[in-house]
Amino acid sequence: MGRKLLLENLDKPEINTIDGYIKYGGYRALEKALKSMTPDEVTEEVKKSGLRGRGGAGFPTGMKWSFLDKSTDKPRYLLCNADESEPGTFKDRLLMEKIPHLLVEGMIVSSYALGCRTSYIYIRGEYMFILRILEKAIAEAYAKGYLGQNILGTGYSLDLHVHPGAGAYICGEETALIESLEGKRGNPRIKPPFPAIAGLYNCPTIVNNVESIAAVVPIVNNGGEDYAKIGIGKSTGTKLISASGNINKPGVYEIELGVSVEEFIYSDEYCGGIANGLDIKACVPGGSSVPILPKDLLFKQSDGSPRLMTYESLSEGGFATGSMLGSGGFIVFDEKACIVRNTWNFARFYHHESCGQCSPCREGTGWMERVLHNIEYGHGKMEDIDLLWDIQRKIEGNTICPLGDAAAWPVAAAIRHFRHEFEYHVKYPHRVFDADHVYQPEMKMQTV
Partner 1 sequence: MTEAKHIELSPEAMMEVGRIISHYPADKQKSALLPVLHIAQKEFGGWLSSESMDYVARLLHIHPIEVYEVATFYSMFNTKPVGKVLIEVCQTGPCCLNGAEKIVSYLEKKLQIKVGETTRDGMFTLKTVECLGACGYAPMFQIGETFYEHLTEEKVDNILLEMRNKNS
Partner 2 sequence: MPKVTIDDITIEVPAGTTILEAARQIGVNVPPAMCYYSKLKGSGGKCRVCLVKVTKGSDKDPRPMPKLVASCRTTVMDGMEVRNVTSPEVIEARRGVVEFLLVNHPLDCPICDQAGECHLQDLSYDHGLSKSRYDFERRTFERIDIGDKIQLHMNRCILCYRCTQVAEQLTPERKHGVLYRGEVSEISTFIATAVDNEFSGNMIDVCPVGALTDKTFRFKSRVWFTKPMYAHRNCPTCSGKVALWYQGEEVLRVTSRKDKWGESEGFICNECRFDKKNTSDWTIEGPAPVDRHSVISQNHYELPYELPVNQKKLSN
Which residues contribute to the site for partner 1 (CB under 8 A)? Answer: 75, 84-90, 92-93, 118, 120, 124-129, 132, 159, 161, 163-169, 180-186, 201, 242-246, 250-252, 288, 329, 331, 333, 337, 341-342, 345-346, 348-349, 352-353, 355
Binding residues for partner 2 (CB under 8 A): 168, 185, 190, 351-360, 362-367, 370, 387, 393-395, 397-400
Between 136 and 234, name the residue whose CB sits nearer to partner 1: 136
Instruction: Give min distance, CB of 223 to partner 1, in A.
Output: 32
DSSP string, 341-406: HHHHHHHHHHHHH--S-SHHHHHHHHHHHHHHHHHHTT---HHHHHHHHHHHHHHTT-SSSTHHHH
Nearer to partner 2, 181 or 358 (CB): 358
Round to whole Å and give the CA distance between 328 and 239.
Answer: 8
Residue 174: name its binding partner from partner 1, partner 2, none (Cβ under 5 to 8 Å by kind): none
Q: Is the CB of residue 115 less than 8 Å from the CB of residue 39?
A: yes
Spatial contact of 297 and 282, defined as CB atoms under 8 Å apart: no
3 state DSSP class of 84 = coil
Nearer to partner 2, 145 or 167 (CB): 167
Q: Which residues, in sequence order, are CB contacts of 100 under 8 Å at separation 6+?
A: 16, 130, 133, 134, 136, 137
User: Using CB distances below 5 to 8 A depending on partner kind, what does residue 357 bind out of partner 2, partner 1, none?
Assistant: partner 2
CB of 6 to partner 2, least distance (A): 32
Residue 362, contacted partner among partner 2, partner 1, none, CB below 5-8 A by kind:
partner 2
Minimum distance from CB of 404 to partner 2 (Å)? 9
Q: How far, in Å, CA of 97 to CA of 294, rounded?
A: 34
Closer to partner 1 by CB, 73 or 303: give it.
73
Length of the chain: 448
Residue 184 amino acid letter: K
Pairing of strands 205-209, 77-82: parallel
156 binds, among partner 1, partner 2, none (CB under 5 to 8 A by kind): none
What, of partner 1, partner 2, none, does residue 444 touch, CB below 5 to 8 Å by kind? Answer: none
216 forms beta bridges with: none
Closer CB to partner 1, 75 or 193, in the complex: 75
Residue 300 binds which of partner 1, partner 2, none (CB < 5-8 A, kind-dependent): none
> Measured between alpha carbons, how far is 89 from 244 in angstroms, rounded to an integer?
9
The one of partner 1, partner 2, none whose footprint includes residue 25, by CB under 5 to 8 A per kind, is none
Residue 84 or 254: the one with the smaller Cβ distance to partner 1 is 84
Per partner kind, with CB cut-offs from 5 to 8 A, the member of partner 1, partner 2, none near residue 86 is partner 1
Task: Select 29 or 347, whichever has its Cβ closest to partner 1.
Answer: 347
With respect to partner 2, which residue has the nearer C-beta, 121 or 168? 168
Provide the minimum distance between the beta carbon of 364 and partner 1 in the complex, in angstroms, as a whole number: 18
DSSP structure string for 170-219: GGGSHHHHHHHHTTS--PPPPSSSPTTTS-GGGS-EEEEEHHHHHHHHHH
Question: Which option in partner 1, partner 2, none does residue 364 bind, with CB closer than 5 to 8 A by kind?
Answer: partner 2
In the complex, what is the shortest distance from the CB of residue 191 to partner 2, in angstroms, rounded to a whole number?
9
3-state secondary structure of 160: strand
Q: Which is nearer to partner 1, 73 or 383 (CB)?
A: 73
Planar angle of CA 183, 61, 270, nearest 5 degrees: 100
Classified as helix, coil or strand, 281 is strand
Instruction: In angstroms, give the least distance from the CB of 83 to partner 2.
Output: 15
| Minimum CB–partner distance for residue 178 and partner 1 (Å) | 10
With contact defined as beta carbons under 8 Å apart, do 332 and 301 qualify?
no
- Number of C-alpha atoms within 13 angstroms, CB side, residue 448? 16
